[in-house]
Amino acid sequence: MQKVVYPGTFDPITNGHLELVERAAKLFDEVIILISYNITKNTWFTLEERLNQISQAVAHLKNVKVDTYDGLVVKYCEEKGISTIVRGIRNYSDYENEKALFFYNQEIMKGIETVILMPSQNNQFISSSAIKELVKFNSDISKYVPKLIVDEINKKLK
The catalytic site residues sit at 17, 41, 90, 128
Q: What is the spatial distance between Cα 156 and Cα 133, in angstroms, rounded to a whole number?
A: 13
**Cβ contact 151:14 at 8 Å:** no
CB 44 within 8 A of CB 51: no
How far is the C-alpha of 118 from the C-alpha of 49, rounded, in Å?
Answer: 26
For residues 44 and 135, is the Cβ–Cβ distance under 8 A? no
Q: Which residues of 78-107 are buried (b: 16+ CB within 10 A; e: fewer)?
A: eeeebbbbbbbbeeeeeeeebeebbeebee
